[in-house]
């Protein structure tokens, strides 16, 4: 029986490099033993996600997501909810600016054709997928990070143009710019090893070691252990927060008394106190996810990925 592969690519990711490389990537998929075809995403909402669901239900063996972290998230979301027998393998071709998930999977990030050639090595690993269940009954998925709190804007508030021009420095500049206007959220967080009730500046729930291009913020990440890494940053004065940012670049922040750091299979997060009725959103893989309250579950080894 012929194995079929579908390349789902975002034509405007990064520097619009994908369209001119589609034929080479399809050739590589054919070399890997797949009957290959391509789908160019459109500006329509959930274009990549809907296509991923369609081809998975049609029996495709492999879905290749080519684009930035947002495109990868959409493709994952299109297949993560399906029963095991309908979930195809995935491969990723990073064509965005940060490419956190590609970094974690050891996929080449500066050459889309080289990234496709990872498939020829036929090395795969089952990866965890995070699911967020929101109070309105909706569900969303993520493979890299969930974030909330006033500092969470660092994960999505830097424009692609600025990231392309300045790289990691863009995040430091954005962080310094945000410090004078930081606010605090009062939350109840229920996780495997306990409960935290109090104020916080940032909630991070990570699945890989790469956040915004930094590889030491989640220093003990494993990709298929069924565990999230939970980081809570307690409120502090601006000077101390700048110090914590500097520590985070070197992975030295997890022992700081202003930080809660633990691993957990799930997390229930709800606003309490004077924030109880506030509208606070959760960021998933760099995109707006949904509103609090939210319960996160780690779906262990949910999707099999080609890895470098």
Task: Give the residue numbers annotated as catalytic, written as ranges.
Answer: 287
Residue in the block written with tokens 């495109």: 71
Cα separation, 121 vs 102, whole angstroms: 16
Strands 3-9 and 34-40: parallel
Contact residues for 237 (Cβ-Cβ < 8 A; gap 6+): none
Residue of 214, 77, 236, 251 lying closest to 149 (CA atoms): 236
Three-state SS at 253: coil
Three-state SS at 125: strand
What dihedral do alpha carbons 137, 138, 141, 144 form, nearest 10°?
Answer: -80
Burial environment of residue 288 by CB neighbours within 10 A (0 to 12, 13 to 18, 19 or more): exposed
Long-range Cβ pairs for the range 45-53 (8 Å, 24+): 46/74, 47/74, 48/8, 48/10, 48/74, 48/75, 48/78, 49/74, 49/75, 49/77, 49/78, 50/78, 51/6, 51/8, 51/78, 52/6, 52/8, 52/76, 52/77, 52/78, 52/79, 53/78, 53/79, 53/82
């Amino acid at each position: 029986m012929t194995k079929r592969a579908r390349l789902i690519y975002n034509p405007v990711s990064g520097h619009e490099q994908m369209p001119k490389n589609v034929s080479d990537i399809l050739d590589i998929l054919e070399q890997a033993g797949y009957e290959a075809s391509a789908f160019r995403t459109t500006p329509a909402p959930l274009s990549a996600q809907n296509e991923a669901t369609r081809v998975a239900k049609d029996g495709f063996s492999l879905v290749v997501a080519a684009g930035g972290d947002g495109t990868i998230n959409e493709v994952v979301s299109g297949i993560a909810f399906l029963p095991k027998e309908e979930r195809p393998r995935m491969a990723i071709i990073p064509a965005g600016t940060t490419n956190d998930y590609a970094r974690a999977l050891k996929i080449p990030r500066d050459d889309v054709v080289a990234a496709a050639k990872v498939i020829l090595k036929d090395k795969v690993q089952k990866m965890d997928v995070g699911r967020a269940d929101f109070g309105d009954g909706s569900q969303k998925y993520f493979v890299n990070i969930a974030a909330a709190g006033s500092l969470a804007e660092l994960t999505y508030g830097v424009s692609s143009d600025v990231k392309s021009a300045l790289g990691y420095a863009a995040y430091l500049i954005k962080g310094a710019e945000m410090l004078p206007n930081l606010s605090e959220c009062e939350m109840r967080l229920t996780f495997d090893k306990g409960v935290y009730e109090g104020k916080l500046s940032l909630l991070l729930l990570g699945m890989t070691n790469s956040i915004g291009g930094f590889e030491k913020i989640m220093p003990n990440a494993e990709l298929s252990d069924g565990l999230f890494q939970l980081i809570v940053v307690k409120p502090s004065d601006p000077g101390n927060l700048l110090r914590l940012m500097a520590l985070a670049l070197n992975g030295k922040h997890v022992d700081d008394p202003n930080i809660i750091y633990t691993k957990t299979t799930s997390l229930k997060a709800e606003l309490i106190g004077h924030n109880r009725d506030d509208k606070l959103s959760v960021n998933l893989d760099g995109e707006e996810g949904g509103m609090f309250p939210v319960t996160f579950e780690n779906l262990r080894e949910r999707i099999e990925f080609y890895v470098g």
